[in-house]
Amino acid sequence: MRVCPECDCEYVARAERCSDCGVALIDRSEVDAEAGGSAPPPLPAGDYRALVRREVARELDPLAAALGGAGVPFKVEVRAGFGFELCVRDDERAGALALLREFLPELDSGEPPADAATEAADERCPACDTVLPAQAPECPECGLGLAVEGA
């Protein structure tokens, strides 16, 4: 994982410059070493599914801090064309949503969270797991050709 030393935005490993700041990116391990941090403990096994999506990773910071403070395992994944996903295990989902109510007022309206993952509707690339646009002829991330239904 690469990060911007100025704004702390995260990027995929092949990225070289921050799209916001224009600054050269550095490896996350360099940032952790400078801060004296150690590697986080490994995540518990299980399938992690998206709970909330945001275009900017920084918007997930307070949500991640709340989950981490409560001991709820989570991870943030980069999704091409969709930004960033805060993911939790299915068995933690209800508790995570309850913790995040203050950050996601749309939960009280009875509507799903803005940009919430709708996994059942998400079609993913079998090669790179990128969420695919509807009827995409190929994966926008890895270029894998896809069969289009009805074609």
Q: For the chain, which residues make up each domain, given as ranges? A: 1-39
Contact between residue 28 and residue 1 where contact means Cβ atoms under 8 Å apart: yes
The closest of 82, 94, 75, 70 to 125, measured between CA atoms, is: 82
The amino acid occupying position 46 is G
pLDDT of the residue at 67? 92
DSSP string, 97-115: HHHTTTT-GGGTTTSPPTT
pLDDT in tens, the chain (151 residues): 788 887 878 888 788 888 888 889 888 766 555 555 555 667 788 888 888 888 888 888 899 999 988 999 999 888 767 788 889 998 998 889 888 888 776 655 544 444 444 443 467 777 777 777 777 788 777 777 776 555 4
> If you search the block for the tokens 């599914």, which residue do you land on?
49
Distance CA 50, CA 85 (A): 6
Q: What is the largest CA-CA distance in the chain?
A: 55
Instruction: Give me the residues paired with residue 45 across strands.
Output: none
pLDDT of the residue at 111? 47
Distance CA 10, CA 4 (A): 7
Q: Which tokens is 116 given? A: 């919430």
| Phi, psi values for residue 12, rounded to 5° | -65, 160
Q: Which tokens is 104 given? A: 């996601």
Distance CA 110, CA 118 (A): 15
Confidence (pTM): 0.48
Distance CA 73, CA 71 (A): 6
Radius of gyration of the chain (CA): 17
Instruction: Show the DSSP H helices in the chain as ranges.
Output: 28-34, 61-69, 93-99
